[in-house]
């Protein structure tokens, strides 16, 4: 089964969170994905952390060498536009980057592994998995 890891899950992995580390260890690397948006968020976090920047950048480089990075494409953008309009009408908007991550997962038909159920559960048709429960 394919999985798309959210930024929080990758961060837990970097910090050695046992539930996440053990789960990732059981999944073939060709079934683990993340998005270009998550990559951007992780790099931002690394550059923000002056004291541990090089360590974090090294972890990012090593981790992303082994997994697939899903791109934000036309199909994802179309889904984004529809989802954002629906969320706005309901007064339930979430951050655009989170919505983009969710829409990439919908377009690729891959569940999102996240501990941020509160926001992502607002995205219609997005399959969610939480390894922190």
pTM: 0.95
In the chain, % of residues over pLDDT 70: 100
Each domain of the chain, given as residue ranges in start order, spans 3-129
Topology (CATH) of 3-129: Rossmann fold (3.40.50)
Looking at beta carbons, which pairs linking 97-101 to residues 24 or more positions away fall under 8 Å? 97/37, 97/40, 97/41, 99/123, 100/35, 100/37, 100/72, 100/76, 101/4, 101/6, 101/35, 101/37, 101/38
pLDDT above 90 for 56? yes
Q: What is the per-residue pLDDT across 38-54, written as a single tens digit (0 to 9) for each?
A: 999 999 999 999 999 99
At 52 the pLDDT is 93
């Amino acid at each position: 089964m394919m999985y798309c890891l959210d930024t929080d899950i990758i961060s837990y992995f970097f910090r050695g969170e046992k539930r996440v580390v053990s789960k990732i260890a059981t999944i073939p690397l060709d079934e683990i994905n993340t998005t270009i948006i998550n990559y951007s968020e992780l790099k931002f976090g690394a550059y923000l952390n002056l004291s541990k920047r090089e360590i974090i950048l090294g972890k990012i480089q090593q981790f992303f060498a082994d997994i697939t990075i899903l791109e934000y494409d036309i199909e994802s953008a179309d889904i984004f536009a529809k989802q954002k309009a629906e969320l706005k009408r309901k007064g339930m908007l979430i951050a655009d980057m989170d919505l983009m991550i969710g829409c990439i997962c919908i377009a690729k038909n891959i569940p999102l592994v996240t501990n941020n159920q509160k926001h992502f559960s607002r995205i219609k048709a997005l399959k969610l998995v939480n390894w922190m429960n």
